[in-house]
């Protein structure tokens, strides 16, 4: 089973390393982290990650997973990246994304009429690429599976595993990786966060949201 993660400058590493850790436990899994070359790709948290295959050499995907990050808008304007995603999506069994990675799929017209989710700060833009926003850590609509922001990729990955290989496979991965979250604060979504916290994050995300809006239009 080929699992393909196309990555780009400014990618959020947890958007794909979390699901990659989970997906590596699928039966017969081959995890490919693909880019235009094998040169290290800078993430949005200060270190780089090395792809293990180039776009040119990457095989077809059973599961195609597009991560997000501050570099998503630039990735949407990168012809080589977008051609690769479009090509692999054309025959992938499952087309998936985490966080703002869904806007890459939306820019390619793959989400029209589909129920999808994304990072909460960007959900107002989903309609601009033809998608229908549905709240949730993950949303399944046919062979399109989308995940919310960053850490939601772990819940998303477990759901993908359950859909693809059955619940027991997913439950085994959850236990082995001791995924039993118990955060010290209840501020992980906009409904429970304080107004001070919410306003702070909205201010931080404002430029990225505007950049993505311009890309979609």
Nearest to 69 by CA among 24, 118, 35: 118
Q: Are 48 and 7 in contact (CB under 8 A)?
A: no
Distances from the Cα of 165 to the Cαs of 49, 107, 157, 215, in angstroms? 28, 29, 12, 36
Residue ranges per structural domain of the chain: 2-216
Q: What pLDDT shows up at residue 27?
A: 95
Confidence of residue 146 (pLDDT cuts 50, 70, 90): very high
Write the class of the CATH domain 2-216.
Answer: alpha beta
pLDDT of residue 42: 98
Assess whether pLDDT exceeds 90 at residue 217.
no
Other residues' Cβ atoms within 10 Å of the Cβ of residue 51: 20
| C-alpha to C-alpha distance for 170 and 179, rounded to whole angstroms | 11
pLDDT digits (tens, 9 = 90+) for 5-61: 999 999 999 999 999 999 999 999 999 999 999 999 999 999 999 999 999 999 999
Assign 204 a pLDDT band (cuts: 50, 70, 90). Answer: very high
pLDDT in tens, 176-201: 999 999 999 999 999 999 999 999 99
pLDDT score at 212:
95
- Give me the active site residues, please: 99
CB atoms within 10 A of CB 50: 11
Angstrom CA distances, 50 to 11, 37, 54, 99, stand at 12, 9, 11, 21
139 and 120 Cβ atoms separated by less than 8 Å: no
pLDDT in tens, 97-129: 999 999 999 999 999 999 999 999 999 999 999
């Amino acid at each position: 089973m080929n699992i393909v993660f196309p990555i780009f400058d400014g990618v959020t590493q947890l958007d794909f390393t979390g699901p990659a850790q989970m997906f590596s436990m699928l039966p017969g899994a081959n995890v490919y982290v693909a880019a235009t070359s094998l040169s290290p790709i800078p993430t949005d948290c200060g270190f780089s990650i090395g792809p293990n295959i180039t776009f040119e050499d990457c095989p077809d995907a059973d599961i195609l997973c597009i991560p997000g990050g501050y570099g998503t808008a630039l990735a949407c304007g990168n012809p080589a990246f977008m051609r690769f995603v479009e090509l692999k999506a054309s025959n992938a069994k499952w087309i998936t994304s985490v966080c703002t990675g869904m806007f890459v799929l939306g820019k390619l017209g793959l989400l029209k009429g589909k129920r999808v989710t994304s990072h909460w700060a960007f959900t107002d833009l989903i309609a601009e690429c033809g998608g229908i926003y549905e709240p949730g850590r993950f949303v399944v609509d046919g062979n399109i599976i989308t995940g919310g922001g960053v850490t939601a990729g772990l819940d998303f990955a477990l759901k993908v595993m359950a859909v693809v290989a059955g619940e027991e496979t997913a439950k085994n991965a959850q236990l082995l990786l001791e995924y039993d979250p118990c955060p010290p604060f209840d501020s992980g979504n906009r409904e429970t966060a304080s107004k001070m916290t919410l306003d702070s994050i909205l201010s931080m995300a404002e430029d990225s949201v505007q950049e993505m809006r311009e890309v979609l239009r």
